[in-house]
Copies of this chain bind each other. A is one copy, B any other.
Amino acid sequence: MSHDPRLTPLIAALPATVPFVGIETLERQTGVTIKARIGANESGFGPSPRAIEAMSRTAAEAWKYPDAECFHLRHELAQHHGVGAENIVIGAGIDGLLGTLVRLTVAPGYKVVTSKGAYPTFSYHVAGSGGELVTVPYRDDHEDPEGLIAQMHAVRPKLVYISNPDNPMGSWHDASAIQRMIEAIPEGTLLVLDEAYFECADPSLFPPLDTSDKRVIRMRTFSKAYGLAGARIGYAIGDAEMIAQFSKIRDHFGVSIIGQEGARAALADQDWLHKVRAQIAGSRDRIAEIAAENGLSPLPSQTNFVAIDLGRDGDFTRAMVRELHMARIFVRMPGVAPLDRCLRVSCGTEADMDLFAQELPGALQRAQT
């Protein structure tokens, strides 16, 4: 087969699919302006006012290249988490860090284990490096640590991915289940523990950070409870040897000066974070209530979203996503069966929830016809 001779064969063979279609793209496609933005697990409660202030102030400094080492943010995060600064690398969001990590560990033909229906951007990066995905089904709407361990021993992958708490289902495992998974990692395999929703969840979900353990790398972000998705700041925590590898290929000046200062201020304002945690918990309850009022089953969640079981198939859920979009509400849904019987609704403001409560019954009715 002939292909554009400028491209590598790997790239030429890659599909042009994207992991997520953005809300603005959908708005342009439909001509409908979204009012309740409760589909991307953003934090409608906003970032700390101190973070906003820091970013506004830093705007005038934007002529300077960012600090390539993210020195201050990295050291402040290290102190916050009780690890060394050499155990943290900052990136432009977990998405970017996952991309770099995959390039560090996966060459064409290498195997990677993940759950069927787990974070599409991780799988996208694996495909971009020519890795071969081996998937394990969810079990009762949870990622399946035992199944992942079994596959891990069967195929000896370079990476095993799990998110805890989980996206897109909101389900979780306690720290002991995750620790069992870590203990089962064979040499040459690295566990990617995506903890994007760390700040939304109970501490009992998280094994203590052990940066001497070379079997696991943990991903955290300012995009969720900290409310800074648009500023692009995430970080990885791991053993110093692996963290140092990132600097062999990462985009050194790629984390914006404004984002670095915003994240520092957000981290310093733990009071705001605690307030947002309470708002998230309240909003989860409200989503569950609205679901129940409509005869639907909300799944338990330790994230900033709730998966609502609509009790039908993926086509019905897709119809619901469309109907809600036409009613100016942006929500998303899992990509594969049987998870795709659920609607994924992000926490949001009272106004967001009111609109959702108001529009859900009509959308259900229209989607049924």
Contact B252 A20 (CB under 8 A): yes
> A42-63, CB under 8 A of B: which get 1 and which 0?
1111110001100110111111
Interface: A306 (CB within 8 A)? no
> CB < 8 Å: which of B22, B62, B245, B259 contacts A51?
B62
When A and B form their complex, which 6 residue pairs have the shortest distance between CB atoms, in order from nearest? A230-B257, A55-B59, A22-B68, A5-B188, A56-B56, A63-B227
Residue numbers of A with Cβ under 8 A of B are 4-11, 14-16, 18-25, 28, 37, 40, 42-47, 51-52, 55-56, 58-69, 71, 92-93, 95-96, 99, 103-107, 110, 125, 128, 158, 187-190, 214, 223, 227-232, 241-242, 244-245, 247-249, 251-259, 262
A19, A59, A223: residue with the most chain B Cβ atoms closer than 10 Å: A59
**A190 CB, min distance to chain B CBs, angstroms:** 5
Measured in the bound complex, the distance between the Cα atoms of B344 and A169 in whole Å is: 54
The interface residues of chain B lying within 8 Å CB-to-CB of A16 are 244, 247-248
Would you list 21 pairs from A and B whose C-beta atoms are within 8 A, ordered by A residue? A6-B105, A6-B189, A8-B105, A10-B107, A22-B65, A22-B252, A44-B63, A47-B60, A51-B62, A52-B60, A55-B55, A55-B56, A62-B227, A62-B229, A62-B230, A62-B262, A63-B227, A96-B254, A128-B249, A232-B255, A256-B256
The interface residues of chain B lying within 8 Å CB-to-CB of A230 are 58, 61-66, 256-258
Contact A251 B93 (CB under 8 A): yes
> CB < 8 Å: which of B21, B59, B187, B248 contacts A14?
B248
Q: Tell me the interface secondary structure of chain A in the complex.
A: loop
Measured in the bound complex, the distance between the Cα atoms of B19 and A248 in whole Å is: 10
Contact B7 A63 (CB under 8 A): no
Contact B22 A228 (CB under 8 A): no
Contact B46 A60 (CB under 8 A): yes
Nearest-CB residue, chain B, relative to A15:
B248
**A172 CB, min distance to chain B CBs, angstroms:** 23
Contact B99 A251 (CB under 8 A): yes
**A227 CB, min distance to chain B CBs, angstroms:** 4
Contact A232 B248 (CB under 8 A): no
The interface residues of chain B lying within 8 Å CB-to-CB of A104 are 6-8, 11
**A257 CB, min distance to chain B CBs, angstroms:** 3
